[in-house]
């Protein structure tokens, strides 16, 4: 199988190339014009590509750093699998671990851009963790526009829990079971990624 990958993000392109190379001959390029030339040449030679993969969105930040906290292994693995395609992702199973990872990344000058917090977790629940994240940012005098985006992930949809999350400082929330399209929509809304426009 011949595969053509079109992705202007180096991190994402290399990750996808390594994954798809297991399936066949793989060419990965950053530019759509370059991709078109490869496609046309292969067609003229009688050896066309069998599959073309084009990135439908791009990161506003060069490499998004994403932190996921969820004690449910199935949900956590599903979220990590989706987010690995978007940025550099770390998944932990408790609020305590999430808070430690967040603080360490900040102190090492490699802060996370997005935190996905499950509401119900052991040791520290999502709302407690969010409250401590915002308190830490306040202590470090992080400007409002540079604070981490926090999206709560919850099995609950009642108004009481949603209001609690908003008051604690979350930017948005996603209800389980979640889909990739909804996550992308929320990230676009938060200005973390943009949908590509133009011809496919």
- Domain boundary at 11, 39, 55, which? 55
Say yes or no: 176 and 108 in one domain.
yes
Give me the percent of the chain exceeding a pLDDT of 70: 90
Separation between Cα atoms, residue 98 and residue 172, nearest integer Å: 18
Q: Is 170 exposed, middle or buried (0-12, 13-18, 19+ CB in 10 A)?
A: buried
Say yes or no: 73 and 47 in one domain.
no
44 close to 27: Cβ distance less than 8 angstroms: no
- Domain boundary at 26, 55, 84, which? 55
169 close to 130: Cβ distance less than 8 angstroms: yes
169 close to 131: Cβ distance less than 8 angstroms: yes
Say yes or no: 162 and 176 in one domain.
yes
Say yes or no: 107 and 32 in one domain.
no
Say yes or no: 70 and 36 in one domain.
no
On whether residue 16 sits in a domain, the answer given is yes
On whether residue 161 sits in a domain, the answer given is yes
* DSSP label of 148: P
Q: Which residue has the tokens 């929509």?
A: 185
Is the model's pLDDT at 197 over the cut of 60? no
Say yes or no: 164 and 66 in one domain.
yes
pLDDT digits (tens, 9 = 90+) for 33-85: 888 888 989 989 999 999 988 766 555 566 889 999 999 999 999 999 989 88
Q: Other CB atoms closer than 10 Å to residue 113's CB: what's the count?
A: 20
Residues 110-125, mean pLDDT to the nearest whole number = 92
Is the model's pLDDT at 200 over the cut of 50? no
Separation between Cα atoms, residue 159 and residue 40, nearest integer Å: 54
Separation between Cα atoms, residue 173 and residue 4, nearest integer Å: 35
* DSSP label of 156: -
Pairing of strands 172-175, 193-195: unpaired
pLDDT digits (tens, 9 = 90+) for 123-182: 889 999 999 999 999 999 999 999 999 999 988 766 788 888 899 999 999 988 888 889
Is the model's pLDDT at 18 over the cut of 50? yes
Residues 76-98, mean pLDDT to the nearest whole number = 92
pLDDT at 62: 64
In which domain, by residue range, is 86 found?
59-194
Structural domains in the chain (count) = 2
Beta bridge partners of 54: 6
Residues 103-132, mean pLDDT to the nearest whole number = 93
On whether residue 137 sits in a domain, the answer given is yes
On whether residue 200 sits in a domain, the answer given is no
On whether residue 125 sits in a domain, the answer given is yes
CATH number at residue 189: 3.40.50.2300
Say yes or no: 78 and 130 in one domain.
yes
Q: Is the peptide bond before 177 cis (omega within 30 degrees of 0)?
A: yes
């Amino acid at each position: 199988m011949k595969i053509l990958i079109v992705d202007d993000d180096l991190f994402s392109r290399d990750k996808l190339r390594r994954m798809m190379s297991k399936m066949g001959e793989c060419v990965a390029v950053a530019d759509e014009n370059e991709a078109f030339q490869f496609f046309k040449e292969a067609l003229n030679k009688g050896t066309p590509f069998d599959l073309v993969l084009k990135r439908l969105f791009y990161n506003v930040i060069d490499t998004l750093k994403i932190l996921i906290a969820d004690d449910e292994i199935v949900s956590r693995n599903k979220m990590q699998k989706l987010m690995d395609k978007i940025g550099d992702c770390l998944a932990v199973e408790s609020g305590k671990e999430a808070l430690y990872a967040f603080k360490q990344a900040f102190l090492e000058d490699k802060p996370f851009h997005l935190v996905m917090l499950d509401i119900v977790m052991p040791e520290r629940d999502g709302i407690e963790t969010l409250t401590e994240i915002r308190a830490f940012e306040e202590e470090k005098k992080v400007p409002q526009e540079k604070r981490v985006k926090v999206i709560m992930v919850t099995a609950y949809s009642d108004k009481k829990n949603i209001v609690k999350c908003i008051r604690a400082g979350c930017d948005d929330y996603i209800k389980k079971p979640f889909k990739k399209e909804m996550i992308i929509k929320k990230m676009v809304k938060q200005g973390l990624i943009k949908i590509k426009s133009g011809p496919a």
